[in-house]
Structure 1
Amino acid sequence: MKSPPWPKGKKLVHLDLKGAPPRLEYLLKLIELFSKLGVDGLLVEYEDMFPYDGDLKLLQATAQPPYSREEVLSMQEFAKSKGMEVIPLVQTFGHMEVSRTSGLELVLLAISATFSVGVQHHCLLFTAQCPSSVTVRAEASTHVEPERDGAVCEHPESPPNRRGEAGDGDAEVYMLGEGEESKLWLASPGRTVEQLFLSHVTKVAQAIKEAWPDMTIIMWDDMMRGMSQDTLKASGLVVLVQPMLWDYTPNLDVDTTVSLLEKYCRAGMSDLWAASSFKGSTSVHTCVPSTQRHVDNHVQWLKVAAALSAAVNLQGIAITGWQRYDHLSVLCELMHVGLPSLAACLQTLSLGEFSPEAQSKVAETLGISSVEAEAMGRTTEDESLFPGRRLAELTVELNSLLNSEDIRFFENNMYVRGWFSSYHQQRKMVSPLIAMQIQSQASAYLTALQEKVEALREEMVLLYPESTAQEWIVEHVSPVLAPLQRITEDITACVNEMVPSNILPAHNQTASFE
């Protein structure tokens, strides 16, 4: 059943730069497309790609150069010229992983860095089992250092107010209360883990407000979902932040979500945000998103918006697109292959349903025949409306090849299991003819994969850093290649022991892949 279109409020697109950060030229092309798709703003998760300076320079990425200050300003100015607001997303509590790129340094990707707010270091202690979350000392002080370089200083005020996303930092705070300092504080009668969380977040929010009174602070809501209305109201946090309720599932529970938003409103937080997903929320290692899955998520969000009382003031929706789940996880769906899904989700919000009209509009805008990336094809050679389309096509083709049963389960095929088992290899009871036929097929697969991988690598480094191409290939391609390479090498070694090399056919050579 059709819902009303998304109500008033901004439609933000999330840029997750902690994985596969786009080169500036590609980033500007993406912003151009976002503008044509009706996007009102960007939710930018800079992480270690921000051009930190001074003492904070250790936070910068080392696998690839971070963006320069000029590049950050260029991106902001271009977005502004397209009528978009740029909101920095900052870690403040959870998801503060030890950096993937800074060795053993504890990278405090926190308000103290990106938001120009200095949280005293004795407040930020990590539990050994969970380096993504801090353990807090409730009595510790929080102060700001406006002179420090950070995202607030690099984000000039934009109408109507400057906004800052306390964001993922207040989400998924695993093992909250497990640190020694926290346990001591919790040992006093009447103290709860909820109070510990609220105390820390409230102090951080107050510090931001003291430094920038006009700053609007948005924070993820999930750590507050189980808290009572009275607990939230008593914390003082409700006058400082706007919660962003996130749910990325295609079967989002409408009644439960409406109930949560209404609870926040009754607690004193009537200005609220939603967060959906157009990619990066299916599984941690997914390469190609399902457009329908993410469209379904937005259809459910439309039902939520339609069911809310007039007292709830929806400020907008952030359409998230995670490049990796966190700093310590692998790359998932990258931006170039997620654009059909993003366009489809935005059309769904605009029309209230994913109708044939919406599908046709997306296909026409991007010059593709299907909104599903795995079957998108193309209707035009012009790539101007789909930046990165060639790389998207190569990603889909290679992903399909890597997941074909003939290649992925080559070790289990009839000939390998029937004529080249470990038993046969150990006793040199191998048919050279069949073994070399197996090797020939494995080599053919290796060659086909190598050609696709090289084409993908050449295209990927035009849009992303070399480190992104290297990581993607190592994570997604190498595990599939390894069994094929092993079989070709084992056959060569085994047959060479059984048959004089001078009578072996010339094709008894292993394919190589670096």
Structure 2
Amino acid sequence: MDINPPWPKGKKVVHLDLKGAPPKLDYLCQLIECFSRMGVDGLLVEYEDMFPYEGELKLLQATAQRPYSRDEIIFMQKVAKSKGMEVIPLVQTFGHMEFVLKHPSMWSLREVSNCVGTLNPCKEEGLKLVMEMLRQVVALHPDLKTLHIGADEVYMLGEGELSKQWLASPGRSVEQLFLSHVASVVNYIKEAWPHMTIIVWDDMMRGMSQDTLKASGILGRVQPMLWDYTPNLDVEKTVSLLEKYYSAGMQHIWAASSFKGSTRVYTNVPSTQRHVDNHLQWLKVAQSVPSGLNIMGIALTGWQRYDHLSVLCELMPLALPSLAACLQTLIHGQFSPEAQKIVTELLDISSVEAGSMGSATGDVRLFPGRRLAESIVDLDSLLCLEDIKSFEKNMYVRGWFSPYQKSRRMVNPLISVQIQSQASMYLDLLQEKVNVVREGMRHIYPDSTAQEWMEEHVSPVMGPLKRILDEITECSMEIVPAQR
């Protein structure tokens, strides 16, 4: 096993993505306590529609569940501060503005009509909207020192009519269009809050030349956050990118890794090893940074959705073993037996993999949401069983209850009993575990999260089973004489 130096001086910040499965305040506070024991220095909080926007922005608030109240956000900050954690809000100001631009009254502010995420950079109303969002968020964070303005994955930029007109002037490029909007946002922040540190995602700048970056107007005013969540992160390429940013005049840089939410858009149970591997690669990058470049910290991202309109990724309780393992990897420079032992003791688990961590035997408060994590692993293993999820392809269903036979009520009574019995058994088994999961979610998440999770993961499996059971029961009644 390669041994790297521990993560260099700088904050270890955990990303809380609240645009899906927003935890209730009590559980949020339990998480902060748990993060503190893991060695976390701060929280990167992406509120999206869970922020209590007011006035003309009130329509941005979530409707599936109530957003956090102003008092709840203040209290969350107090709890974090009591644990020595800095709270850094992440407010999207360019790309990934789906939660804003989905509203009909905001459609005119899209870059192009069919891209819900990208703000039109050529409309003054769009910039005013972003400024008001920032103003309200900063106002509710009285001790704020650092602000993340997003600006990643600005799809379709330059495709709108106004942008095309802007680009028609000689010497203008899409890169400059991007930088122009970011510079406007940065100027507003610096005028309103001169001492604010500003972080921006780096991906839209990766292909830019040093000259373009130097002429951007944002050098020395923003700190790029390089993100790569893959287990096979290209170290050489990433170091080269760091060198380019540094040579262009960006001396303060952040990294962003991942402890959940970056495997597949619909993953249920994270792989700890996959995320540990990502952090091992980041350690190699940190070891090779140019002399003079200051790594301000690393954000361990935990995406809850790929974007506002996609399905839920792994829920936070299932990802705590992965988070603890990734943090210990950074602290030790490797995921050594010692680091693994610390993780298992910290959370009182038998394995660092959530899928095989075992049942709780000690103090479940060490691992907030432990019961829910266990019950989801238990249910997920059933949902993934081929015999259950592909029941419609079962030999008996395919052989004796095909669409042809079904339509003509040609059902073998003896085999129909077997199909009924099997379907009923699976449904009862699933329902028992579903009830446990639903009860566990009730304590941690709003009802809308439980409903969404069930409809996404459980209904596609239980639905066909129920349908087959109902249909074969109905057919059987027409073929078997009624008992007198």
TM-score normalised by L of structure 1 = 0.90
Contact 1:12 1:319 in 2 (8 A): yes
Q: Secondary structure at the match of 1:401?
A: helix
1:451 aligns with 2:428: no
Aligned counterpart, 2:106:
106
Aligned counterpart, 2:453:
472
Q: Which amino acid aligns with 1:392?
A: A
CA distance in structure 2 between the aligned counterparts of 1:386 and 1:452, rounded to whole angstroms: 21
Aligned counterpart, 2:118:
133
- Correspondent of 1:150 among 136, 144, 152: 136
Unaligned runs of 5+ in 2: none
Aligned counterpart, 1:252:
233
- Correspondent of 1:405 among 386, 407, 417: 386
Deviates more, 1:181-190 or 1:402-411: 181-190
CA distance in structure 2 between the aligned counterparts of 1:231 and 1:103, rounded to whole angstroms: 35
- Judged with a 3 Å threshold, the aligned counterparts in structure 2 of structure 1 residues 145 and 182 are, in CA distance, closer, same or farther, namely closer
Aligned counterpart, 1:166:
149
1:414 aligns with 2:395: yes
- Judged with a 3 Å threshold, the aligned counterparts in structure 2 of structure 1 residues 141 and 275 are, in CA distance, closer, same or farther, namely closer
Deviates more, 1:233-242 or 1:424-433: 424-433
Cα deviation, residue 145, structure 1 = 6.7
- Judged with a 3 Å threshold, the aligned counterparts in structure 2 of structure 1 residues 140 and 395 are, in CA distance, closer, same or farther, namely closer
Contact 1:276 1:318 in 2 (8 A): yes
Matched-pair identity in %: 67
- Judged with a 3 Å threshold, the aligned counterparts in structure 2 of structure 1 residues 139 and 329 are, in CA distance, closer, same or farther, namely closer
- Per-residue CA deviations over 1:464-496 (Å, capped at 9, x if unaligned) read 101100110011111111111111111012112
1:188 aligns with 2:147: no
TM-score normalised by L of structure 2 = 0.96
Aligned counterpart, 1:301:
282
Aligned counterpart, 2:183:
202
Q: Which amino acid aligns with 1:165?
A: H
Q: Which amino acid aligns with 2:137?
A: A
1:321 aligns with 2:321: no
CA distance in structure 1 between the aligned counterparts of 2:75 and 2:239, rounded to whole angstroms: 39
- Judged with a 3 Å threshold, the aligned counterparts in structure 2 of structure 1 residues 147 and 191 are, in CA distance, closer, same or farther, namely closer
Structure having the larger proportion of residues in helix: 2
Aligned counterpart, 2:420:
439
CA distance in structure 1 between the aligned counterparts of 2:226 and 2:131, rounded to whole angstroms: 30
Contact 1:138 1:196 in 2 (8 A): no
Query: Aligned-pair RMSD on alpha carbons?
Result: 1.9
Q: Which amino acid aligns with 2:141?
A: H
- Judged with a 3 Å threshold, the aligned counterparts in structure 2 of structure 1 residues 146 and 201 are, in CA distance, closer, same or farther, namely closer
CA distance in structure 2 between the aligned counterparts of 1:465 and 1:356, rounded to whole angstroms: 38
CA distance in structure 1 between the aligned counterparts of 2:123 and 2:216, rounded to whole angstroms: 13
Cα deviation, residue 251, structure 1 = 0.3
Cα deviation, residue 57, structure 1 = 1.4
Cα deviation, residue 460, structure 1 = 0.2
CA distance in structure 2 between the aligned counterparts of 1:96 and 1:201, rounded to whole angstroms: 14
Deviates more, 1:6-15 or 1:454-463: 454-463
Q: Secondary structure at the match of 1:238?
A: coil
Unaligned runs of 5+ in 1: 108-121, 504-514
Cα deviation, residue 379, structure 1 = 5.7
CA distance in structure 1 between the aligned counterparts of 2:127 and 2:483, rounded to whole angstroms: 77
Contact 1:142 1:207 in 2 (8 A): no
- Correspondent of 2:371 among 367, 370, 390: 390
